[in-house]
A and B are shown apart, each in its own frame.
Chain A
Amino acid sequence: MDAVYDNLDLFWSGFLRSLGICLWGMAGSLVLGTLIAAFRVSPIPALRWFGTAWVTLIRNCPLTVVLFMFAFGLPELGINVSYYLFGVSALVLYTSAFVCEAIRSGINSVQLGQAEAARAIGLTFGQTLGQVILPQALRSSLPPLGSVIIAMFKNSALVGAFGVGGDLWGVGNQLTSAQGYDALPVFTGVAIGYLCITLPAAALLATVERKVAIAR
């Protein structure tokens, strides 16, 4: 395991870089996914149509293709930002479709009467969703949402493979192919790095689930 001990600082910076991608990806996809879910249940047909098209299109494309389109396709259209931003954007876009569906499954689990009662006291569509439906939807959305987010954390390695550089996957790649370290110890280190992100995330999720379960 010298490969890991010798390069602890490299692993540490890779870990932070990956953590950054994960957290931005999570924040972005939660916001975007919730918005798309709101579109899908909105009273305006055009928004519903847009939401459905979004999910259908993006959920059924491989992430690698989405990443390719961002990293190499968008520059052809004259859009040039850093690979980091391209990578995170692609990850957000891709994950938002899954977040949307997890949240929508939660929305569908809330009794119709709740929305009717909210509308009957004069709440607008946005207030009905924000005050009454989503807080209750969250309870049943959390388990699938957790799976989606953890899958996204792991997908972030693919973003690294697209030349973002400096993330955990990139560190592993650099140590093995450029510096000739053995793959097994290096990628064991990489795996531990990812577990350091995903395991606390899973624990946090379990805690939040317990919390919202009591609140009723």
Chain B
Amino acid sequence: MTATAQPTSTDDLVVLSGVNKYFGDMHALKDVNLSVKRGEVVVVIGPSGSGKSTLCRTINRLETISDGSITIVGEKLPEEGKGLANLRAEVGMVFQSFNLFAHKTILENVTLGPIKVRKVKKDAAQKRGMELLERVGVAHQAEKYPAQLSGGQQQRVAIARALAMDPKVMLFDEPTSALDPEMIKEVLDVMVDLAKGGMTMVVVTHEMGFARTAGDRVVFMDEGAIVEEATPEEFFTNPQTERAKDFLGKILKH
């Protein structure tokens, strides 16, 4: 089966076919095929260096691919310029290290995209921004700067910033890996709410609890390739591959 001949249903929001990625000699992604349906929550897990973050970052082209194709809502990812910027606006991204704009207040962080990209009027953007901050529980911090907030609060703002663009799909690149244990829950709670609300999500994480409660499908990666795909229930109770069994054995027996 060739990559391009693969039929995709109209329900498929994100489709990666035959994606390969090299970092120099390192083969970081090996012939990756993955479709994400509208409203689906795909949880990508795997050991460090397995390529799961790289996979996530290729979807909005923060990482270029060596060959293969990626489409979002049936549209091929443009290479550069305005077209790429427009497509990125449809794809929300939440980073491990939050990456809030350090020189802007919390509210400005959430309104910058709508004002500059969507050309929303400032007061309308602020009103919507406050609603989103309310939703993630940091509205009372709206006038502060990112550095004045805790990690958990910053990450919730980052989620609000992505939501402000009304994205069709949200990418989460290890959103809780830089957080203290106590703060992980407050971020996961927001993410579970989003998933329940029908948001299409690709989540790279080590939080197996989240995968179980909110995931529709688990994608297990190792050494740049997708090794196993299954529902969370199947994957955690009855993994098919030796590699997955080994991985689960290491992380679940404590």
Contacts and interface: CB of A to CB of B under 8 A. Distances in A.
Contact of A121 (B80, B81, B112, B147): B112
Contacts of B1: none
Interface stretch (A26-34, A81-89, A122-130): A122-130
A114 interface: yes
A215 interface: yes
Given A127-B116, A131-B112, A216-B147, A119 B88 contact: yes
B161 A121 contact: yes
A127 B95 CA distance: 20
Interface stretch (B6-14, B98-106, B121-129): B98-106
A132 interface: yes
B66 interface: no
B254 interface: no
Nearest to A113: B99
B117 A123 contact: yes
A121 B102 contact: no
Interface residues of A, number: 20
A113 B88 contact: no
A120 B89 CA distance: 7
Contacts of B103: 132, 135-136, 215-216
B241 interface: no
B252 interface: no
B86 interface: yes
Contact of A122 (B97, B99, B117, B147): B117
Given A113-B95, A113-B97, A119 B80 contact: no
Interface in A3-51: 43
B89 A122 contact: yes
B254 to A, nearest CB: 31
B145 A122 contact: no
Interface of B: 60, 62, 80-82, 85-93, 95, 97, 99-103, 112-113, 116-117, 145, 147, 158, 161-162, 165
25 contacts: A114-B99, A116-B62, A116-B99, A117-B95, A117-B101, A117-B158, A117-B161, A119-B62, A119-B85, A120-B60, A120-B93, A121-B112, A121-B113, A122-B88, A122-B90, A123-B85, A123-B117, A127-B117, A131-B112, A132-B101, A135-B103, A136-B102, A216-B102, A216-B145, A216-B147
Given A122-B165, A127-B116, A132-B103, 20 more contacts: A111-B99, A114-B102, A116-B93, A116-B95, A116-B99, A117-B95, A119-B62, A119-B85, A120-B60, A120-B92, A120-B162, A121-B89, A122-B86, A122-B90, A122-B113, A123-B117, A127-B117, A131-B116, A132-B101, A216-B103
